[in-house]
Amino acid sequence: MKIALGSDHAGFQAKEALKLALATAGHVVEDLGTKSTESVDYSDFGLRVARAVSEGAADRGIAICGTGIGMCIAANKVRGIRAAVAHDAFTAEMSRRHNDANVLCLGARLLAEDRIRELSRLWLETPFEGGRHERRIGRISDYEKG
């Protein structure tokens, strides 16, 4: 799978570790920054990841900041993006099964690197259930189209 990956300074170390794990698992990773622990604005990187998915340059996106919240708020402003913050296996799995989330937002100040790796793996592998959930996300897409 082609994955757009991004973080701010708070998520930088976790992003670097996740990048290696994803590549080792056979994914094609596009690292959209940031490139160091120097302070940056999470919004820039959340929007970059979301745009890569929205424009079809990546199949999915993963964005890491301190809490995952800022990345999620930013990413959800981009057309076609369903970004979800996951803190545990249940939220990671349900964001795929019921919400067809295409961007996963994670908090590096809450989750250890191995947890981030595990939640990302689970999220990437979990399919969307479709059915009644298709209709529900369709309502959101309709609203977005105006």
Task: Examine the residue annotation and report whether 65 is marked as an active-site residue of this protein.
Answer: yes
User: Which of 3, 4, 5, 10 contacts ligand RB5 by CB under 6 A?
Assistant: 10
Edge to edge, the sheet with strand 28-31 lists: 28-31, 2-7, 60-65, 103-107, 83-85
**Using rule CB under 6 A, residue 69 touches ligand RB5:** yes
Q: Would you say 73 or 89 has its CB closer to ligand RB5?
A: 73
**Using rule CB under 6 A, residue 46 touches ligand RB5:** no
Q: Would you say 33 or 66 has its CB closer to ligand RB5?
A: 66
* Residue 26, Ramachandran bin (φ over 0: left; ψ between -120 and 50: alpha; else beta): left
**Using rule CB under 6 A, residue 33 touches ligand RB5:** no
Closest alpha carbon to 60 in 140, 6, 12, 97: 6
Minimal distance in Å, beta carbon 128 to ligand RB5?
26
**20 and 5 Cβ atoms separated by less than 8 Å:** no
- The CB-nearest residue to ligand RB5 is 70
Minimal distance in Å, beta carbon 24 to ligand RB5?
26
Cβ-based neighbour number of residue 66 at 10 Å: 17
* Residue 130, Ramachandran bin (φ over 0: left; ψ between -120 and 50: alpha; else beta): left
User: Which of 42, 53, 62, 103 contacts ligand RB5 by CB under 6 A?
Assistant: 42
Active-site option among 9, 27, 65, 72? 65
Closest alpha carbon to 73 in 86, 91, 60, 85: 85
Active site residues: 65, 98
Q: Which residues bind ligand RB5 (CB under 6 A)?
A: 8, 10, 42, 65-67, 69-70
